[in-house]
Structure 1
């Protein structure tokens, strides 16, 4: 978990879960958020199985705070990003967390499957750091100034019994 410095964009850090198996891409994402001055707490899961363990109660691992957004790669071991996305959107407690696909895949099938499984956005990771930095910066501004994510207690589950 990494906490980056607050900026004028946000009074308090946002919770981000990055689901990514590539160490260089994890490093670039951390660096891009830091360089862009986007206040966040960045949690890392290296595949879909680990992400679910972080999001749900697990006996051997503490649960992370509910993310404001999940940045999700597609090509990962054990459980890939599309499988995780489908699982998240079936879970009443997790289905309202916005999921942004952040991947190198430009395959039309991956784009279509992501949106069919209710991804909020699909962003192709640029290879060059300068372009990647700009993409993360734009993503951060989008998340902090335009989007209103569900608040605490706002899940897609049934309303409480009265």
Structure 2
């Protein structure tokens, strides 16, 4: 089965962790287009510019929680309150094993919570996921305008 034309959006402020993610994708032979954002605010702009009414449609977000600027929890609050982004599929990829972070992430409807130490488990889960998952289409600018 071929992978769906889907873009992975990694929201991560650590260059080394970005490289670890890239290498894990390669190790597991996962060949999706990648976009990167260094914090939640940059990710919001990226999603709105490129996916909501843009040329790209299917995407999955991989989110670090502990970032400078807009952190992962603030990012989740923002997208879950945005009608155009609220159905985005988000997997948390973080160093935090704190019960509070886990609970808050799932309260904001994340698809999964993985620690960076277990990145291979994430890759094993995501590989079959991208070959068969159906994702909701993001609204275009025309679709999100109220009818007259």
TM over 0.5: yes
Which of the residues 130, 135, 139 maps onto 2:121?
Answer: 135
Moved over 6 A (4+): 157-160
CA contact under 8 A between 2:84 and 2:139: conserved in structure 1? no
CA contact under 8 A between 1:55 and 1:66: conserved in structure 2? no
- Asked if residue 122 in structure 1 is aligned to residue 113 in structure 2, the reply is yes
Per the normalisation by structure 2, the TM-score is: 0.83
Larger relative helix fraction: 2
Q: How far apart are the structure 2 equivalents of 1:54 and 1:152? A: 13
Which of the residues 52, 56, 79 maps onto 1:65?
Answer: 56
Q: How far apart are the structure 2 equivalents of 1:152 and 1:141? A: 22
Larger relative contact order (Cα-Cα within 8 Å, sequence gap ≥ 6): 2
Per the normalisation by structure 1, the TM-score is: 0.76
RMSD: 2.7
Structure 1's unaligned 5+ residue stretches are 1-7
Which of the residues 45, 49, 57 maps onto 1:53?
Answer: 45
Measured after TM superposition, the shift of residue 67 of structure 1 is 4.8
Which of the residues 137, 144, 147 maps onto 2:133?
Answer: 147
- Asked if residue 82 in structure 1 is aligned to residue 70 in structure 2, the reply is no
Q: How far apart are the structure 1 equivalents of 2:109 and 2:145? A: 21
Q: 1:85 to 1:67 in 2, by over 3 A?
A: farther
Q: 1:145 to 1:42 in 2, by over 3 A?
A: same
Which of the residues 15, 20, 23 maps onto 1:23?
Answer: 15
Aligned length: 143
Give 2:82's aligned residue: 91
Which of the residues 32, 49, 53 maps onto 1:40?
Answer: 32
Structure 2's unaligned 5+ residue stretches are none
